[in-house]
Every structure is written in structure tokens, then in C-alpha cells.
Chain A
Amino acid sequence: MRAIRLTRIYDHPREDVWAAIADSQALAAWLMPNDFQPVLGHGFTFRTKPAPGFDGIVHAKVLEIVPPERLVLSWKGGPLDTTVTFDLTALSATRTRLTLVHDGFRGLSNLMPRFFLGLGWRDLTGRKLPDYIARAKSG
């Protein structure tokens, strides 16, 4: 399996659910502190507690925004380069189905080159990569 797919039904109008996923303050309330703006192409970050192998910063970008239906974000955190899609379907005037798809988890063949490119072959400090490998070994 290379993607996470979750579905929830909320007893709220679609516009209200949209307001909760396409607004910086609302996202901070239920997801993570961020500097999101509902603007196509806007690059921003989510910040959370650092963990081993993860500095706690998710670099994101608005890839698609169709109010009040669909929000697609690029989601880069740790060694991962993924996308997160929120799809909202109005089931009635007061019920909304949210489908969340977190996609782009791939095996080594895709992960490693990106990781190396990100660091740059020349810029490897001799610390980052061994840490990364130690983590992979313990994983």
C-alpha cells in the first residue's frame, strides 16, 4: 500500500467543513500551526514537534483549490515528498463526507534520489546521511 485513504462524515454543511480546512486559523485549531493562505501556488509550512529524523516542519504548497470541494497540498516532511488531498461531498444540506488521501509514499527507488538531490551530493555533511541510514536501519 502506498497511500492512506480515510473517509469521515461530519454532521455539518459542506461550507462549514470547507471553512475548517481552507483557513489558517481553523487548520491551526485541529491540524497544526501554519501560514496557509487559500491561494493557488502558495507555499507555506506546518510546524509541529520535532521527532527523530523529522525537524517538525512540513513544507506545503497549494496545488489545487476548488471551493468548497477540493484542496490539494504538497506535503514534504522528513524524507517524504507526498501530497494530501481533501475532497468534500455534500450528502445533504447538513451532512458532508470528507475523503482524505495522503499519497506519494514510495519505495526506496523514488525516495532516495530525491533525498540525495535535496541535500546535494556536495553538501552532504557526513552527519545527515548516516543519521538517515541509522534511522532506516532501526525502522
Chain B
Amino acid sequence: MGYVANDQDAFRAIADPNRRKMLDAMMAGEQTVGQLTALLGVRQPTVSQHLRVLRLAGLVGERREGRNCFYSTNPSELAEVAAWLAKYRAFWNDRLDALAVHLKRKESRGV
């Protein structure tokens, strides 16, 4: 399997089909190591190693609850969606003001 040298190297992290399978499962919802092990049908240490690669690449985050650890695709992604929403809200407010100016200008030209 091999580790990724650079923690930004997400491309190499997802080059492995088992890691892609794990990502797909984690996109659908949080997974435990046990669930992922069952999904892939490989040994648990192999799953743990894959998780390590995905975490180093910034693709996966973990959440601890008691003795359990849940893995999911990185929640910072959700923060990005929120940032896009805020940006677009400001954008549309601005553009709809511009539409008012456009309408007035057309009217004054009697078009």
C-alpha cells in the first residue's frame, strides 16, 4: 500500500481503490474501523493504515465518543459550503441592487 510522503498528497491517497471505497462509505455517513473492515473484507490493521493515509491527506476526520472512534469525510468541507453561501448571498444582494439601477436607466432612456 505505501504511505504518502506529503500530507497534502490527496491524489495519492485516493489512488488506491480500497481507500476510494472507504471514502465513498464515509461520505454516506460516519464509519467505525469495524464497519470499514467488514466493508472491505481485509484485516483491521490494513484499514487503520488506510485511514492514516486519508487523515494525513486531510480527507478524513475522526470523532471520539467514549471508546469508539467514528471516521467521516472532513467536516471543514461543510465550512466551505457555508462560506460559499455567505459569498453568494452578498453577491446576489449586490447584483439585485444593480438590477434596480439597470431598470431605472432603461426607463429614463424611455426604452
Which residues of A86-139 are within 8 A (CB) of B? 98, 100, 102, 105-109, 111-113, 116, 121, 124-127, 129-130, 132-137, 139
How many Å from the CB of A37 to the closest CB on chain B? 19
Q: For residue A102, which residues in chain B have a CB less than 8 angstroms away from its CB?
A: 88, 92
* Contacts known (A20-B102, A113-B27); A139 close to B14, Cβ less than 8 A: no
Whether B100 and A8, one on each chain, are in contact in the complex, defined by CB atoms closer than 8 angstroms, is: yes
Give the number of chain B interface residues (Cβ < 8 Å): 42
A105 to B78, CA, bound (A): 10
Which residues of A1-37 are within 8 A (CB) of B? 1-2, 4, 6, 8, 10, 12, 16-17, 19-21, 26, 29-31
How many Å from the CB of B100 to the closest CB on chain A? 6
How many Å from the CB of A118 to the closest CB on chain B? 14
Query: When each residue 88-111 of chain B gets 1 if its CB lies under 8 Å from chain A and 0 otherwise, what string results?
Result: 110011011011111100110000
List the 6 closest A-B pairs by CB distance, nearest first: A139-B80, A126-B11, A108-B77, A30-B98, A30-B102, A130-B8
